[in-house]
A = this chain, B = another copy of it.
Amino acid sequence: MKKKFQDIYRQISESIESEYYRAGDTLPSENQLAETYDTSRETIRKALKMLSEHGYIQKVQGKGSIVLDMSRINFPFSGVTSFRELSQKLGSRAKTEVVYLEQDLGHLEVESMVWHVHRIRHIDGERIILDKDVFSAEVIPQLTKAICETSIYDYIENELGLTISFAHKEIVIEEPSEEDRRYLDLADHHVIVVIKSYTYLDDTTLFQYTESRHRSDKFRFVDFARRVQR
C-alpha cells in the first residue's frame, strides 16, 4: 500500500522546514489540500494530525492550521532515538567506543541470555556519555563490536527486520559511580544525569534496558508536549 497520508505528511513537513510555509502562516484549507494532493479530506486530516503531534502546526477550529515556530526545537531528543541518529546532526564531532561486549545469563524481565554492551560516546574529543545496554539474546542472536560501533538500532530494524515501537523512560540525577569516573571525563562536575529506558518491540516484547549516563553540563533535554485532556 502507498500510505498516501505519510507522503503528504513528509511533503508538508519539508515545506515547513524549508520555510516555504513560515511560522504564523495558515496552511491551505483541508479541502484545498485534498484537491491539490488529489485525495480525500480524511487522508489530509491524517497527515495534518501527524504534523500537529510533531509540533509543526496548530489546528484551530473555524480558522485553519497555523504553522508553529519549530526553530526552538534544535535538539529533538524526545521520542525513542538512537545516538547514531543524534550524532548525524553532530556530524564528525561524535564518536563511539565499545568498552565491553559480553553474552551471559542475565535478568531482563525474566532470567535468560542477554548481551551486555558498554559504550563511551565521545563528543568533540571528550568522553561525555556512558551507555550501558542490556539486550535480549532471544531477539538479537548475534552482536559484534562493529555493529555496536555503528548503530544497533539500524541493525535491528534493517538487518533483522524488527520494529522498535515504544519506551518507558526515566531521568534522575545520581552521584558518579567508580565506573563513571573511570570512563568519563568528569572534570569537576560532580553529578551524572541518568536516563534509564526500557525499549519494546511492536509485539510488546521488552528487548532492551539502557542506562545512558551523561556528564551534567553537556546534558540537555528538549521536548514538545501537548496538553493532555482529562
Q: Which residues of A are at the interface with B, using a C-beta cutoff of 8 A?
A: 6, 24, 53-55, 58, 60, 63, 66, 68, 72-73, 78-81, 164-173, 190-191, 193, 198, 200, 202-204, 216-217, 219-229
| Contact status A223-B169, CB under 8 Å | yes
Q: Which residues of B contact A6 (CB under 8 A)?
A: 229
B170, B191, B217, B226: the one contacting A216 at CB < 8 Å is: B191
Shortest Cβ distance from A223 into B: residue = B169
Given the known inter-chain contacts A66-B204, A202-B60, please indicate yes or no for A170 contacting B221, CB distance below 8 A.
yes
Q: Which residues of B contact A171 (CB under 8 A)?
A: 171, 219-223
Please, how many angstroms separate the alpha-carbon atoms of A173 and B220 in the complex?
8
Q: In whole Å, how far is A176's beta carbon from the nearest beta carbon of chain B? A: 12
| Residue in A63, A79, A164 whose Cβ sees the most chain B Cβ within 10 Å | A79
Given the known inter-chain contacts A173-B217, A216-B191, A219-B173, please indicate yes or no for A79 contacting B164, CB distance below 8 A.
no
| Contact status A226-B169, CB under 8 Å | no
Q: Please give the count of copies of this chain that the complex contains.
A: 2
B58, B80, B224: the one contacting A168 at CB < 8 Å is: B224
Q: Which residues of B contact A73 (CB under 8 A)?
A: 168
| Contact status A58-B228, CB under 8 Å | no
10 shortest interchain CB distances as A-B pairs: A171-B221, A173-B216, A80-B227, A79-B228, A169-B223, A166-B226, A58-B204, A164-B227, A191-B191, A170-B222
| Contact status A223-B165, CB under 8 Å | no
Q: Which residues of B contact A223 (CB under 8 A)?
A: 78, 168-171
B58, B68, B204: the one contacting A68 at CB < 8 Å is: B204
B170, B216, B220, B227: the one contacting A165 at CB < 8 Å is: B227
Shortest Cβ distance from A195 into B: residue = B221
Shortest Cβ distance from A68 into B: residue = B204
Please, how many angstroms separate the alpha-carbon atoms of A228 and B204 in the complex?
16
